[in-house]
């Protein structure tokens, strides 16, 4: 009942021309995918990406948004602006935002509510650092990020939510969590969501992210609670991203 969702997070990569070229290569490769396909370019390449993806099964997401809709907030980009460009999704609270740009569960929460207000579908990222995992605090940290980040969200809204579990130590390091480790934390996230939203938790899609590659996607997707992936590095190459998207192809 949960349709898998594979999203590519391009991070700070791709000019408009590079974005257009990547999507042009990607379109025919993922045209028959069973999973939902999303790419998340930097703000400056969103318009070119939406254009290049037009008429295909590829949706476009932003990598962040600000929580106010407009005002004197130099450098920020708001929900209405992203809607205007044709974004359907928005990533919120990526660990790089938390680590380098001071984002907290409180800012994640404000951004989440702004996304819903503007009819953008949020992909909310959570995940523990290596030190937190080694201290045995992974579940506690992730549980707090989920509860604080989603504060005030109604069950009806929660149905459309996507959560991405991305252990910080697995991002860009080539070190993937084992499928069993990922399943353990993701099942815990689903139990937490069930405490918050009851039955609706069974409809909420939860992705794994962190060094996802064509070679490990099948094992990850075989886990009962993993509903997709948030892919960084491997999403910058059309062939490898397509291989991840088409993980279920025989
Ligand atoms: P990675 O990034 O696939 O390059 O590890 C994942 C992410 O940060 O979303």
Environment class of 214 (CB within 10 Å of its CB; exposed 0-12, middle 13-18, buried 19+)? middle
Integer Cα distance of 174 and 170 in angstroms: 7
Q: What are phi and psi of 156, to 5 degrees?
A: -60, -35
Tens digit of each residue's pLDDT (9 = 90 or more) over 55-113: 999 999 999 999 999 999 999 999 999 999 999 999 999 999 999 999 999 999 999 99
Tens digit of each residue's pLDDT (9 = 90 or more) over 192-209: 999 999 999 999 999 999
Q: Residues 44-61: what's their mean pLDDT?
A: 98
Helices (H), the chain: 16-30, 46-53, 79-85, 95-100, 105-117, 130-134, 138-149, 155-158, 179-197, 217-221, 238-245
Give the pLDDT score at 175: 80
Q: Which atom of ligand 1 is nearest to the CA of 171?
A: 5
CA of 230 to the centre of ligand 1 (A): 7
CA of 29 to the centre of ligand 1 (A): 21
Does residue 1 carry a pLDDT above 90?
Answer: no
Pocket test residue of 91, 233, 240 for ligand 1, highest count of atoms within 8 A of CB: 233
Does residue 250 carry a pLDDT above 80?
Answer: no
- pLDDT band of 173, cuts 50, 70, 90: confident
Average pLDDT over the chain, rounded to whole?
97
Does residue 211 carry a pLDDT above 90?
Answer: yes
Give the pLDDT score at 207: 98
Q: Residues 151-176: what's their mean pLDDT?
A: 92
**Terminal-to-terminal C-alpha distance of the chain:** 21
Give the pLDDT score at 100: 97
Q: Whose CA is nearest to atom 3 of ligand 1?
A: 232
Give the pLDDT score at 117: 98
Q: Which residues are catalytic?
A: 94, 166
Pocket test residue of 9, 98, 164 for ligand 1, highest count of atoms within 8 A of CB: 9
Let me know: does 6 contact 35? Beta carbons within 8 Å: yes
Ramachandran area for residue 85 (φ above 0: left; ψ -120 to 50: alpha; else beta): alpha
Q: Residues 223-249: what's their mean pLDDT?
A: 97
- pLDDT band of 174, cuts 50, 70, 90: confident
Closest to 206 measured CA to CA, from 166, 169, 154:
166
Closest to 105 measured CA to CA, from 140, 142, 130:
142
Find out whether the beta carbon of 209 lies less than 6 Å from any atom of ligand 1: yes
3-class secondary structure, 152: coil
């Amino acid at each position: 009942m949960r349709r898998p969702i594979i999203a590519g997070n391009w991070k700070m990569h791709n000019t408009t021309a590079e974005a257009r070229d990547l999507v042009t290569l990607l379109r025919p490769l993922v045209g028959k995918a069973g999973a939902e396909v999303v790419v998340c370019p930097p703000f400056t390449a969103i318009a070119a990406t939406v254009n290049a993806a037009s008429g295909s099964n590829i949706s476009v997401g932003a990598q962040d948004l600000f929580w106010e809709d407009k005002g004197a907030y130099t450098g920020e980009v708001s929900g209405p602006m992203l809607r205007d460009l044709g974004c359907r999704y928005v990533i919120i609270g990526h660990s790089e935002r938390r680590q380098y740009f001071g984002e907290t569960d409180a800012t994640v929460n404000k951004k989440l509510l702004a996304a819903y207000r503007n009819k953008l579908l949020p992909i909310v990222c959570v995940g523990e650092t290596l030190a937190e995992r080694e201290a045995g605090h992974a579940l506690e940290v992730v549980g707090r990020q989920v509860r604080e980040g989603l504060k005030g969200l109604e069950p009806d809204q929660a149905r459309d939510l996507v959560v991405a579990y991305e252990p910080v130590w697995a991002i860009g390091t080539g070190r993937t969590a084992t499928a069993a480790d990922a399943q353990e934390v993701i099942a815990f996230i689903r139990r937490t969501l069930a405490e918050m939203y009851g039955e609706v938790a069974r409809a909420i899609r939860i992705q794994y992210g962190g060094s996802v590659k064509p070679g490990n996607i099948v094992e990850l997707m075989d886990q009962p609670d993993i509903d997709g992936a948030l892919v960084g590095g491997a999403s910058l190459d059309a062939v490898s991203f397509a291989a991840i998207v088409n993980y279920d192809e025989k």
